[in-house]
Structure 1
Amino acid sequence: MIKSFFFVARLAAAWFGLFVLLAMFAQAIPALAHEDTGPLFLVALIVVAIVITHAFSHLRRVRLIAGEVNASTLSNRQRRQIEMPFDADEAFDLLDAAVRELPRTFELESARDSLQVRAKVRRPGLQGRHALSPATVYHWWLGTTRNQILATVTPGEGTSRITLICEPDTGAWSDWFRVDEGTNLENAEALVRAITRRVAERRRHERAAVTRTVVEKELAVAKLSLLHAQVEPHFLYNTLASAQYLTRNDPPRADEMLGHLIDFLRRSLPRTEDSLSTLGDELDRSRAYLEILKLRMGDRLSLQLDVPEELRALPLPPMMLQTLVENAIKHGLEPKPGGGTVWILARRGEHSIAITVADDGLGFNAQTAGTGIGLRNLRERLHLVYGGGAVLSIVANFPNGVAATLTIPSLQQEEAEHA
């Protein structure tokens, strides 16, 4: 209450003092020295009454907007600082959009290089009033029909700070003689709310994206575990049937086949400690699989391995190599009357490691083409594990057959070596 009283008294005193100075100036001029100053003091009383009315209106609006009255909320010039968890460009975009959507904004100047936004804002409350009403004359006389906004972004390391200044479009001296009826306080609070809402919305989108990514990864891991655990029924039935036949006719080969089958099944069990296998484990699984097929296919299948020992520790999602080997057999060599060879090679490049599964089977043709689901799933798993850093390429092998190459970042291998 005391602050409100002194605020109104200060404005009334400033105007009354102005008219006293005018009266003293008039008395100092000989031509006006004998004139009656009564009309001047009458005008002074009327103006002071209007000023007091607007001062109380200002107090009421400030109390409605801010909920309290103090030196900060009563000021015609409002300053706000907002810490942003974004870099300068993102913070500038949020600020620019918030200022543009502020009601009655015009003459907006947006300078991205200097990270500044300037705008003029028309003051409400004059529409519909008579041109000669005391309030309209009061506003136009002091030039208070519009406010201005100056907003600056100060960049930091991964964060930014927005400084907002909302003030009348007049010099600071005019604060002694007029009030803005809370319009700059209203503009400052509106901009803070708009920026805060946009930051919260951006955070919600980020959290939703993270949640989607986590769910997608969990789903991929679940699918991968299922794929890891399953064994193709036809392969298992045929292998057991072959082992049963060999048990009666060639026990040593039957024992060898069952040993490879046990090794293959043991390495096909789901991994519970982590989602990644190694190139060595995947190579042993694929070799056990191919050794079983060699016993079944005989001389129709041969295997060539060329994988450096230092690359066996390379982290690799399980079943990727196995998928490529199964494709080489199913679509390349099994349908081929004379069979052929499967090559598994691994090479380290400057920034990546290439793993190739090649065959000299039937190659690309309508008879051997599959549905493509396995390769599509493989590419999706590559993207989930490595992002855009891994590539699967499939080309024709020379003189015939197909060569499938996985290219993955070597950073994974470097981390394993330093662990």
Structure 2
Amino acid sequence: MEAFFINNLWILVATCFVFIMHLGFACLEAGFVQKKNVVNILFKNCMILSIGLLTYYLVGYNLMYPGDGWLIGDILGGFSPMDWDAGASADYAAQQVQADAGDAMAMTGYTDFIFQGMFAATCATIVSGAVAERIKLVPFLLFATIFVAICYPITGSWKWGAGWLDAMGFYDFAGSTVVHAAGGFAALAAIILLGARKGKYKSDGRITAIPGHSMPLATIGVFLLWFGWYGFNGGSVLSADPNGVSLVFVTTSLAAAAGGIAAFFTAYIMFKSYDLSMVMNGILGGLVGITAGADVVTGSSAIIIGLIAGIIIPLSIVFFDRTLKLDDPVGATSVHGVCGIWGTLAVGIFSTNPEHSFVTQLIGVAAIGAFSFVAAFGIMGALKVTLGIRVDEEEEIKGLDVGEHDMHAYTDGKKDGVFQLTEG
């Protein structure tokens, strides 16, 4: 009973860490957009977490688990989080958690649900930054609702719900592909359909940089995300096993640090400047890269994985921006999509488990990536045809804060409807 209490408590603490990641995403995305669009990006982050938890409760969890079906979870199996009492929660955990190893349950069903629910919301948050500064609010929220409620749980069930990829031997410890690459491919589909921000790409081929309004805020976001990743990866041990959690903390830290260092040098070679945004995305790329194999690689391998992820970041961002002319204000497609692919494939190269295969990892990445891209393209494409997904030119120029929310993120105290004290 004492071991169960400690295990369950650690997963709940890790859940709080993952919750903090949503604050990190909000700060990072707000810092990387222009001042006139900060309220809009913060609004979307608040709504995504709310939508993600509710839809995962109503639909997603049972679609994702227990994965008895070949393609999707047991959505019609008659068991739902809405029906739980304390006994059912404990019984379900006993059936689901670490069943293959024959170990005692590590957490209740309640804990399993809330931990996984935070992951589900994270997947949609990845898309939010990529489509920033030009997407209509309501169509985006509809997209996020459908994607989190249906698309993410389906691909998640293929691995974490004991589905066909899991049976094949595909390994993704905490979600380099299941969460991050899935979100990255969805973001790619969305920005293809949405188009670039006005003025980003000139008719003569020139590219205009559109810098974010607050690098301090973005930096705070990166550190909050790094902090939250200790729960994202550490909680995915699914117990408080001392050696397992400690190893994951070490590999996560080393990969993040290596990603930042590699992005620093790579960006300097490419741009001859010390680019803070590249370093921040390099850190995040290292974190995404290590997420698939944090528990099955050594510290040295974690450093190599992070270094390669950090090198990938500037190259990938430039490729999407300059070669493909795809406008991604926060680099989500590179950080989550490309580095998610790399991290998942890295398991087949660096894992200490000889059963992990590079070919199997490649199949898993291709399957989840293709499904997420096609599903997101279909959902966003339908919304584009029916409701329209892009704000008009005047609203984009004025800013979505005023156009969509009728408020400002900042004020100088002299205008914009700020309350003024007057004599008399």
Same fold (TM over 0.5): no
Q: Report the TM-score, using the length of structure 2 for normalisation.
A: 0.22
Higher share of residues assigned helix: 2
Q: Report the TM-score, using the length of structure 1 for normalisation.
A: 0.22
Q: Which one has more relative contact order, counting CA pairs under 8 Å at least 6 apart? A: 2
Higher share of residues assigned strand: 1
